[in-house]
């Protein structure tokens, strides 16, 4: 059960390792286009159809017709990767239960956007966890964990790709352990932590940059949202005109700030924005309605940059 590209790698591993995938469950096709009159299948559905796998796309997971159809496949085990919360009637259905491949080291970063938040928070390590589903989201007994280092200059795309492949790997090892233990592999309850870091869903407003923070914090924020959905700010000119600016890549500097937070400064090749403690060098960005570009191309098209500020 899954929807995005992240889940395809695990499904591919199941198929290529000759597991008997009796059916694939994914989200309904999404309306796209100007008039929302075209339907776009998920990446998981595309792969499933290419390999002649039955596809189920319930609108509601408790729908009786879907539940009965799912039960008719008589699956011994269900695997979930990047999907929605399941009701007990679904996760408790198979003989061996249902396990989830989660892109974080549980119990930290429970929620919908664990990869983004790990980078946003400046973590130097993350990983993947397999666990049995139970009544609450991302809280079930842990079967396995695998760790993944986060380089200081890595963005979400880098971590996403790494965890996507690591997730497929841990899924195979978890399956082997479940089969070897006749459905009852060693598993442990999630530890209680004094401070749990959450990974809630990310919305447009989540992605707005607050320049009243240290440069390192903003640098991590940019990495944690690049390339998608992208951290953004508002550029304001002297007359009060505003335009949205997305920032995809930045570099930390040790240049101390004596100007107001949000002030823009530039030399021939580089653009800087004042943070609470230092200047942040902006390397790759995109004005609303324009193409993504490097800072030099941006500066070539923007005159009198000092008349703008980021808010």
pLDDT digits (tens, 9 = 90+) for 50-95: 999 999 999 999 999 999 999 999 999 999 999 999 999 999 999 9
Architecture of domain 204-310 in CATH?
Roll (3.10)
Kindly state the average pLDDT of the residues 126-133.
Answer: 98
User: What is the tens place of the pLDDT at every residue in 269-303?
Assistant: 899 999 999 999 999 999 999 999 999 999 998 88
Query: For 5-180, which CATH class?
Result: alpha beta
Asked if residue 235 has pLDDT above 90, the reply is: yes
Among candidates 278, 274, 275, 268, which has minimal Cα distance to 298? 268
pLDDT at site 191: 85
Q: What's the whole-number average pLDDT of the chain? A: 95
Asked if residue 32 has pLDDT above 90, the reply is: no
Long-range CB pairs of 143-148, under 8 A, 24+ apart, other chains included: 143/99, 143/174, 143/177, 143/178, 143/185, 143/186, 143/187, 144/170, 144/173, 144/174, 144/177, 145/105, 145/106, 145/170, 146/170, 147/105
Domain with CATH 3.10.25.10 in the chain: 204-310
Domain with CATH 3.40.50.170 in the chain: 5-180
Kindly state the average pLDDT of the residues 24-45.
Answer: 91
pLDDT at site 240: 87
**Measured between alpha carbons, how far is 217 from 121 in angstroms, rounded to an integer?**
8
């Amino acid at each position: 059960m899954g929807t995005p590209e992240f889940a395809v790698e695990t499904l591919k591993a199941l198929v290529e390792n000759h597991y008997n995938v009796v059916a694939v469950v994914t989200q309904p096709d999404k309306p796209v286009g100007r008039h929302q009159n075209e339907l776009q299948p998920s990446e998981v559905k595309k792969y499933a159809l290419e390999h002649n796998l039955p596809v189920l796309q319930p609108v509601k997971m408790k729908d009786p017709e879907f539940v009965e159809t799912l039960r008719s496949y008589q699956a011994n085990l269900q695997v979930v990767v990047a999907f929605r919360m399941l009701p007990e009637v679904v996760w408790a259905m198979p003989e061996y239960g249902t396990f989830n491949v989660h892109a974080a080291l549980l119990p930290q970063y429970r929620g919908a956007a664990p990869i983004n938040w790990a980078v946003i928070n400046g973590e130097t390590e993350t990983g993947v966890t397999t666990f049995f589903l139970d009544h609450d989201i991302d809280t079930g007994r842990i079967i396995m964990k695998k760790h993944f280092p986060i380089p200081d200059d890595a963005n979400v795309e880098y971590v996403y790709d790494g965890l996507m492949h690591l997730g497929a790997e841990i899924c195979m090892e978890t399956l082997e352990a479940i089969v070897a233990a006749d459905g009852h592999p060693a598993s442990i309850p999630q530890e209680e932590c004094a401070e749990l870091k959450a990974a809630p869903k990310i919305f447009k407003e989540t992605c707005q940059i607050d320049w009243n923070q240290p440069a390192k914090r903003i640098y991590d924020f940019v990495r944690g949202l690049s390339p998608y959905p992208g951290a953004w700010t508002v550029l304001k000119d002297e007359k009060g005109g505003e335009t949205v600016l997305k920032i995809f890549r930045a570099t930390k500097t040790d240049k101390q700030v004596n100007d107001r937070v949000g002030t823009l400064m530039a030399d021939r090749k580089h653009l800087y924005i004042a943070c609470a403690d230092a200047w942040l060098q902006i390397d790759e960005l995109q004005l609303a309605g324009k193409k993504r570009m490097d800072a030099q191309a941006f500066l070539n098209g923007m005159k009198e940059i000092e008349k703008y500020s980021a808010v």
